[in-house]
A and B are shown apart, each in its own frame.
Chain A
Amino acid sequence: MIHPDRYESLGELLRDALVQFKSHRALVEVSRKKVKGELTYSDFKRSAMVVAARLADAGVTSGTRVAIVMSNQPAWLISAYAAFYCGAVLVPVDYKLSAQEQGNLLRHCGAEVLITEYPSWLGLAWVDIPARLRLVAGVPVGETLENAENWPEQPADPSATDPDFVPRKRHDTATIVYSSGTGGRPKGCMLSHDSYLNQYQALLTLFPMDETTRYFSILPTNHAIDFMVGFIGPMACGATIVHQRTLRPEFIVDTMKRLKITHMALVPLVLEAFERKLKEKLDAVPPFYRSLMNGLATINLELTRKKPNRALSKRLLGSVHAAFGGELQYLFCGGAFVDRDRAEFFYKLGIPVVIGYGLTEVCTVATVNTLHPFRGDTVGTPVPGVEIRIVSPSDDDRGVGEVQIRGRTVMQGYLDDPELTAQSFDGDWFRTGDRGWVDAAGHLHLVGRSKNMIVTEGGKNIYPEDIEGAFVEVPVDELAVFAADYIWPREGLTGEQLVAVARARQAKTGTALAKLREKNRTLPDFKRISGVVWWGDDFPRTASMKVKRHELAAAVRQHQGRDAVVPL
Chain B
Amino acid sequence: MADQTVKTLMSLAATKFGKAESLLSPRDDFFEVLGIDSLQAMDLLTQLEEEFDVEVPDYELQGVKTFEELAEVIRRRL
Contact = CB atoms under 8 A, between A and B. Distances in A.
Interface of A: 32, 71, 96, 119, 245-250, 269, 272-273, 276, 458, 521, 524-525
A249 B42 contact: yes
Contact of A524 (B42, B58, B63): B63
Given A32-B55, A96-B62, A521-B29, A250 B46 contact: yes
B38 A248 contact: no
Interface string B39-77: 100110110000000010111101100000000000000
Contacts of B60: 119
Given A245-B57, A269-B39, A273-B39, A525 B45 contact: no
Nearest to B65: A521
B31 interface: yes
Contacts of A249: 39, 42-43
19 contacts: A32-B55, A71-B59, A119-B57, A245-B57, A245-B58, A247-B42, A247-B58, A248-B43, A248-B46, A248-B58, A249-B43, A250-B43, A250-B46, A269-B38, A269-B39, A272-B39, A458-B38, A524-B63, A525-B31
B42 A248 contact: yes
Given A248-B45, A248-B46, A250-B43, A525 B59 contact: no
Per CB-CB distance, the 9 closest pairs between chain A and chain B, nearest first, are A248-B42, A119-B59, A273-B39, A246-B58, A248-B46, A247-B58, A250-B46, A525-B31, A249-B39
Nearest to A246: B58
Contacts, number: 33
B63 A246 contact: no
B6 to A, nearest CB: 19
Contacts of B42: 247-249
B34 to A, nearest CB: 13
Contacts of A119: 57, 59-60
Contact of B38 (A32, A246, A276, A525): A525
A272 B46 CA distance: 19
Question: Which of B29, B42, B45, B55: most chain A CB closer than 10 A?
Answer: B42
A331 to B, nearest CB: 17
Given A249-B42, A272-B39, A525-B31, 8 more contacts: A119-B60, A245-B57, A246-B57, A248-B46, A248-B58, A249-B43, A250-B46, A525-B38
Contacts of A273: 39
Nearest to A457: B37
Interface in B1-46: 29, 31-32, 38-39, 42-43, 45-46
B59 to A, nearest CB: 5
A281 to B, nearest CB: 15
A521 B55 CA distance: 28
Contacts of B58: 245-248
Nearest to B56: A246
B44 to A, nearest CB: 10
A8 B43 CA distance: 46
A298 B43 CA distance: 32
A269 B38 CA distance: 10
